[in-house]
Amino acid sequence: MTVVTIGPDGMPDPVGMWYLVNDAGEPVMRTYAKSQKARNLERDPRYSALVETGDTYNTLRGLQLSGVIELNRDPEVVLDIVEGLNDKYALAGGATIDRSLMADYASKQVAMTLHVDKVVSWDHRKL
């Protein structure tokens, strides 16, 4: 997913992110608390995001999301996302992570919940 925040100069700041979908159907991810995107969101929580797939023009489809992002500094919430990303993307080769070893890492991160206010979709397979 490409997430676009608003940079300090007002310019869009797009970043590719790994994500999960929580039980409420909202995308969630994590980032370093000192990252530019986290700083952007602290100043202005609005975002837009793009998820797309397809290898040829007639197979392209995607979603454009927009709304606000909620930041959460709770290390346990961050670790839940880290575990989910590990499972989804096989980051540890299928092994489970040791949460106690990840505590320092999680303390430097923030969880991001994308609250979606608007969705635009397209599917070129229907053309």
Residue 48: what are its φ and ψ, rounded to 5°? -135, 155
Q: Could you report the per-residue pLDDT of 14-65, keeping only the tens digit for each?
A: 999 999 999 999 999 999 999 999 999 999 999 999 999 999 999 999 999 9
109-123 and 61-72 strand pairing:
antiparallel
Rounded distance between C-alpha atoms, residue 32 and residue 92, angstroms: 19
Read off the pTM. Answer: 0.90
- 45 pairs with which residues across the strands? none
Q: Could you report the per-residue pLDDT of 77-126, keeping only the tens digit for each?
A: 999 999 999 888 877 676 788 888 888 999 999 999 999 999 999 999 99
Q: How far is the first Cα of the chain from the last one, in angstroms, to the nearest whole number? A: 24
Domain ranges of the chain: 2-126
CATH code assigned to 2-126 = 2.30.110.10
